[in-house]
Amino acid sequence: MSDAPMHHKKAASTSPPGGPPGGGLVRRGLSRPVAFASITAVFVLFMAASSAPSPLYVIYQHEWSFSATTLTTVFAVYVVGMIAALLVLGALSDHIGRRPVLASAIVLEAVAMALFIVANDVSILLIARFVQGIATGAAMTTLGATLVDLNPPHAPHRAGVITGAAPTFGLGLGALGCGVLAQYGPHPTQLVYVLLLAGLVLAGLLIIVLPETAQRRPGVVRSLQPRLGVAPRLRTDLIALIPILVASWALGGLYLSLGPSVAANLFGLSSHVLGGLVVTLLCGPASITVFALRGWPTERTLALSATLLLLGTAAGLAGVEANSLTLAAFGTAIAGIGFGASALASFGTLARIAGPAERGELFAVAFVISYLAFSVPAVIAGFATTNVGLHETSVVYSTAVIAFSALALVAQRLRTGRARNANRCIQPAGAHITTVVAGQATAGCGSAPAPRHALPDQAALGRSR
């Protein structure tokens, strides 16, 4: 890939550097740098739309008189739609191309915005959130894969950085922007959706001129069968990331579903701006952290993220217990840094290890894990809030996040130890596995001397690596 603009000439039979795998055609249109920036903007738009209802939940509750259980159900149906789309459509763009999937997702998202605009009861709100979940699920894996496709070779980590930063930045922007509009603008439950709908129209126009980056492949129908498939070589890395994904996204789910209610009911903050600021206080530092730590080693970033999630959540919990708004806000910001570091290291790792034909499906699996953690605990918290109270629920929820953060630290330590042990057993590139010393062939890793004739074959060499 190159940052130089693409010339508007007839596409050659082979792909340019960084083009689709296998020599697929690239549709002429936007240059790759502009296309990369455009996809980033669309990613942020989708995530801003997903968090926009959060500051409005308090208004909906007041106008339509529903419980915290109903509130988190509205939050959950969005994630149900998203996970369904991830399971069914996660690998679709690997087969039919990125543009058709993105265009369809934008249309569905526009339908959801229209439903939000006309919503006058909980039933329409539920439908709107479900449709929005499907649209977001279809878009997210495709947007992540497209960013990797368009990633410039001189900045190999850029796609991972953007994939980590866009969700948190978009969530924070959507919540704060909606809070400001709800507090100071007319029609608080409609204006934000009108503006988002206008943004989606612009996004649709961008997709029309977006270059196609994925080669069409057979197996479209098979790709629609709901499944979570990860190539065997990728599973160990993904499993090691699960605790930190659960800790960070479960915390995000708490803030997006019940955060404004905690601010209003436990700290007496009735302003819609402050309700949106609760989410932004978590997501803002997260997005900044992604850029600030983008040059750090993955292992170091993962360890930092787990540590800060643990400490920040503990400080936030202490603030709730002491009724200290300052301490709770400080803890939220620290946890937000951990959230951002987690997103950077997790999705950066996935972007690096996956092959072109594996990206859509791998991102789908990662997002399913993330959004199950994002939604299921939040729904449980909604039921708990209705039955035992918001304060008690916040304490138990925060304690669970702390526990998963500690588990993430353990998982990272074990993964690092295994990697170091494996590296001791691997000879430098181009060297033979055995070395003849004093007339004997000696094996690596301090093993006993091996006979001269016991040199491993290439298959064994490949397995050892």
pLDDT (tens digit per residue) in 438-459: 333 334 444 444 433 333 333 3
- Look at residue 134 and tell me whether its pLDDT is greater than 90: yes
Between helices 359-388 and 122-149, what is the axis angle to 10°? Answer: 150
123 Cβ contact list (under 8 Å, min separation 6): none
Cα dihedral 375, 380, 383, 389, rounded to 10, equals -110
Residue 424: per-residue pLDDT: 65
Residue 185 phi, psi dihedral angles, 5° rounding: -95, 170
Q: How far apart are CA 416 and CA 420, in angstroms?
A: 6
Q: How far apart are CA 169 and CA 292, in angstroms?
A: 14
Q: How far apart are CA 115 and CA 81, in angstroms?
A: 15
The SS3 of residue 65 is coil
Kindly report, residue by residue over 405-432, the tens digit of the pLDDT: 999 988 888 877 776 676 666 545 444 4
- Look at residue 346 and tell me whether its pLDDT is greater than 60: yes
Q: How far apart are CA 346 and CA 332, in angstroms?
A: 20
Residue 437 phi, psi dihedral angles, 5° rounding: -130, 125
Q: How far apart are CA 244 and CA 428, in angstroms?
A: 32
Model pTM greater than 0.75?
A: no
The better pLDDT of the pair 115, 18 is held by 115
Q: How far apart are CA 34 and CA 36, in angstroms?
A: 5
Kindly report, residue by residue over 353-382, the tens digit of the pLDDT: 777 667 667 777 887 888 889 888 888 888
Q: Do residues 240 and 412 lie in contact, with contact meaning Cβ atoms separated by under 8 Å?
A: yes
CA distances from 427 to 171, 385, 431, 464 (A): 45, 57, 6, 10
